[in-house]
Amino acid sequence: MRNLEKYKGIIPAFYACYDENGEISPERVRALTEYHVKKGVKGIYVNGSSGECIYQSVEDRKIVLENVMEAAKGKLTVIAHVACNNTKDSVELAKHAESLGVDAIAAIPPIYFHLPEYAIADYWNAMSAAAPNTDFVIYNIPQLAGVALTMNLFAKMRENPKVIGVKNSSMPVQDIQMFKAAAGEDYIIFNGPDEQFISGRVIGAEAGIGGTYGVMPELFLKMDELVKENRLDEAREVQYAANEVIYKMCSCHGNMYAVIKEILRINENLDLGSVRAPLAELIEEDMPIVREAAEMIRVAREKYIK
Angle (CA) 258-290-168 rounded to 5° is 55
Torsion of CA 101, 104, 110, 111, to 10 degrees: -100
Name the burial class of residue 156, with classes exposed (0-12), middle (13-18) and buried (19+) by CB atoms within 10 angstroms of its CB.
Answer: middle
For residue 250, count other CB atoms closer than 10 A to its CB: 13
- Angstrom distance (rounded) from CA 225 to CA 221: 6
18 DSSP 8-state letter:
B
Nearest to 64 by CA among 18, 129, 99, 8: 18
Q: Which of 62, 167, 180, 222 is catalytic?
A: 167
User: Which one-letter DSSP state was computed for residue 16?
Assistant: P
| DSSP reduced 3-state for 131 | coil
For this structure, is 167 an active site residue?
A: yes
CB atoms within 10 A of CB 233: 7
Q: Do 296 and 244 form a contact (C-beta atoms < 8 A)?
A: yes
- Nearest CA-CA partner of 293 in 219, 216, 239, 223: 216
The answer to whether residue 139 is catalytic is yes
Q: Are 279 and 258 in contact (CB under 8 A)?
A: yes
Among the listed residues 18, 139, 187, 213, the single catalytic one is 139
Quickly list H helices, 133-231.
142-145, 151-157, 174-183, 197-203, 217-228
Catalytic residues: 139, 167
